[in-house]
Amino acid sequence: MIKIDQHSFGRTAQGEEVTRTLLTNRHGMEVALLNYGATIQAIRSADRDGQLANIVLSCDNLEDYERQSVYLGAVVGRCANRIAGGRLLLDGNDHQLTINNGDNHLHSGDSGFHAKVWEQSLNEYDDAVSVTMTCYGKDGDDGYPGNVEVRVIYTLTDDNIFDIRYSAITDKTTVVNLTQHSYFNLAGAGTIHNHQLQLDAEGYLPLNEQSTPLGHVQTVEDTAFDFRTPKTIGRDITGERHTSECAQQLTMARGYDHNFCLPSGAQPETRRMGEVWEPVSGRLLTVYTNQPGVQLYTGNYLEGTPAPEGRIWNNHEGFCLETQGWPDAPNQPGFPSITLQSGAIYQHHTCWIFDCRSEG
Q: Which residues are tagged catalytic?
A: 181, 322
Query: How many of the other CB atoms lie within 10 Å of CB of 348?
Result: 24
How many C-alpha atoms does 204 have within 13 Å on its Cβ side? 25
User: For every residue of 110-140, which 3-state class applies, written as one string?
Assistant: HHCHHHCECEEEEEECCCEEEEEEEEEECCC
Report yes or no: 76 and 108 within 8 Å, Cβ to Cβ.
Answer: yes
CA distances from 232 to 192, 202, 226, 247, 321 (A): 9, 18, 11, 17, 15
- Rounded to whole angstroms, how far apart are CA atoms 178 and 80? 6
**Burial environment of residue 169 by CB neighbours within 10 A (0 to 12, 13 to 18, 19 or more):** middle
Q: Sign of the CA dihedral 113, 110, 140, 18?
A: positive
Query: How many of the other CB atoms lie within 10 Å of CB of 319?
Result: 24
Nearest to 354 by CA among 48, 60, 133: 48
Report yes or no: 234 and 191 within 8 Å, Cβ to Cβ.
Answer: yes
Bridge partners of residue 321, in order along the sequence: 296
Nearest to 341 by CA among 108, 148, 77, 166: 148
**Cα first-last separation, the chain:** 31
